[in-house]
Amino acid sequence: MKKWLIASVLLTLLNPALAAAPKKIVTLGGALTEIVYALDAEARLVAVDQSSVYPPAANKLPKVGYYRSFSVEGVLSQKPDLILASDQAGPPEALARLQRTGVPVIVLPSAPNLAALEKRIAGIASALQEEEKGKSIITKLKRDVVQVPASNTRALLLISRSGSPEGAGNETSADAILKLAGLNNVLAKQHGYKPLSMESIAALQPDVIVLSSMSMQNLGGMEKVLAMPGLAQTPAAKNKKIVVMDDLLLLGFGPRLPEALQQLKQVSK
C-alpha cells in the first residue's frame, strides 16, 4: 500500500498536466480541503466532499459525495485539472476510474501523526505551486505542536454515528490526539472503535469524556448525555468534564491541530 501510495504521488507530480498551476481543484477529504484554504488557494476549489465542513465557506461549494463513497461522475462533472484525495478515499474502483481518466490525481497519506500531516501539507503545496506557503505552515506546526508528557488524567473519547456510543481504542486518530495532549486513553488496549454499553463506560471511570459535536448531537445533547445511566456514574460526568469539539478539528489531523491540542490540554492539567 505504501509503495503504491508513493508511486501514485510521484507519477502524478511528474504529470505534464501539472506543469501549470492547477486552477480547478476537487478535494476528497475534509483535512485536505482545510490545507487548500490554509494555503490561500480556496479560489481554485470547484468542489469538495461532504466531510469538508471547515472553514464554513467550504459548505457553499458543490459536493461530490462522502470521500469514502464519492461519485466519479460528480467529480468529473466539475472538469477538474487536479484531484486531491485521501488514501482512505474510495471505493478503490472509483479512485482507479478517476486515475484512468488522465486527470491528475494526488493520493495523500491520512495517518494521524505529525509526520503524515507535514507530508499532506508539503504534497498539496507542491502540487499547487505554493511551496513557500507550505513551508511556512509546516514551520508553524512544528513550533506549536509539542507533545504533552503523559498525565494520570483518564480520558474516554466517544463517537456516535447512530445514537449508540462507540469508544476509541488504539490505531485511531482519536487515540493519537489524546496521547499528544497528554491524556491517558482508558481504551488504549482496544483496537479501533467498538460499541460500549453504559455499564462498560461506568466501569472505565474516565476523568474526562471527549465527544465530537456531531456525536453529541446524535446522543441527544449535553443534558441527556450527563443523565445517561452508567455514564452519569463516572468522575467525568460528576465533575462535568465533558469536552465537545468540532468533528474535523478533533479527528481530522489538519492544519488546526495545534488548536485541537490546546483545547484538550486544558483538561489534562
* Mean pLDDT to the nearest integer, 155-164: 91
Query: Would you state the pLDDT for residue 161?
Result: 87
Q: Report the range of poorest mean pLDDT among 17-31, 57-71, 238-252.
A: 17-31
Q: What does the mean pLDDT of the chain come to?
A: 92
- pLDDT for the residue 14: 44
The span from the CA of 264 to the CA of 250, in Å, is 9
What is the count of structural domains for the chain?
A: 2
CA atoms within 13 A on the CB side of 176: 18
Q: Is the pLDDT of residue 7 over 70?
A: no
d(CA 40, CA 34): 10
Given a cut of 80, whether residue 4 has pLDDT beyond it is no
- Bridge partners (DSSP) of residue 159 are 166
Tell me which DSSP letter residue 228 carries.
S
Answer whether residue 12 is part of any domain. Answer: no
Instruction: Give CB contacts under 8 A, 24+ apart, made by 220-227.
Output: 220/163
pLDDT for residue 15 is more than 90: no
Angle at 114 (CA atoms; ends 110, 120), nearest 5 degrees = 45
**Distance from C-alpha of 22 to C-alpha of 4, rounded to nearest angstrom:** 23
Q: Could you tell me the end-to-end alpha-carbon distance of the chain, in angstroms, rounded to an integer?
A: 39
What is the model's pLDDT at position 269? 64
Residue 18 pLDDT level (bands cut at 50, 70, 90): low
Whether residues 134 and 34 share a domain: the answer is yes
Residues 172 and 258 both lie in one domain? yes
Q: Which of 115, 144, 173 is the C-terminal boundary of a domain?
A: 144
End residue of a domain, out of 144, 179, 201: 144
Does residue 16 register a pLDDT over 70? Answer: no
Could you tell me if 162 and 136 lie in one domain?
Answer: no
Tell me the whole-structure pTM to 2 decimals: 0.89
Are 108 and 128 in a shared domain?
A: yes
Domain with 212, as residue range(s), is 154-268
For residues 183 and 212, membership in a common domain is answered with: yes
pLDDT at 19: 65
Dihedral sign of CA atoms 207, 212, 213, 219 in order: negative
Residues 136 and 122: their CA atoms lie apart, in Å, by: 10
DSSP H or E stretch at residue 29 = none
pLDDT tens-digit readout, 29-64: 999 999 999 999 999 999 999 999 999 999 999 999
Asked if the structure places residue 235 within a domain, the reply is yes
Task: Decide if 17 is inside a domain.
Answer: no
Q: The domain spanning residue 114 has which CATH number?
A: 3.40.50.1980
Residues 6+ apart with CB under 8 A from 41: 25, 128, 130
Beta-carbon contacts of residue 42 (< 8 Å; ≥ 6 apart): 36, 57, 58
Q: Please compute, for residue 15, the number of CA atoms within 13 A of its CA located in the half-sphere on the CB side.
A: 23
**Which residues, other chains included, contact 49 with Cβ-Cβ below 8 Å and sequence gap of 6+?**
27, 28, 29, 30, 33, 63, 64, 65, 66, 67, 70
Cα–Cα distance measured from residue 48 to residue 64, given in angstroms and rounded to the nearest whole number: 6
pLDDT at 89: 97
Instruction: Please give the DSSP secondary-structure letter assigned to residue 17.
Output: G
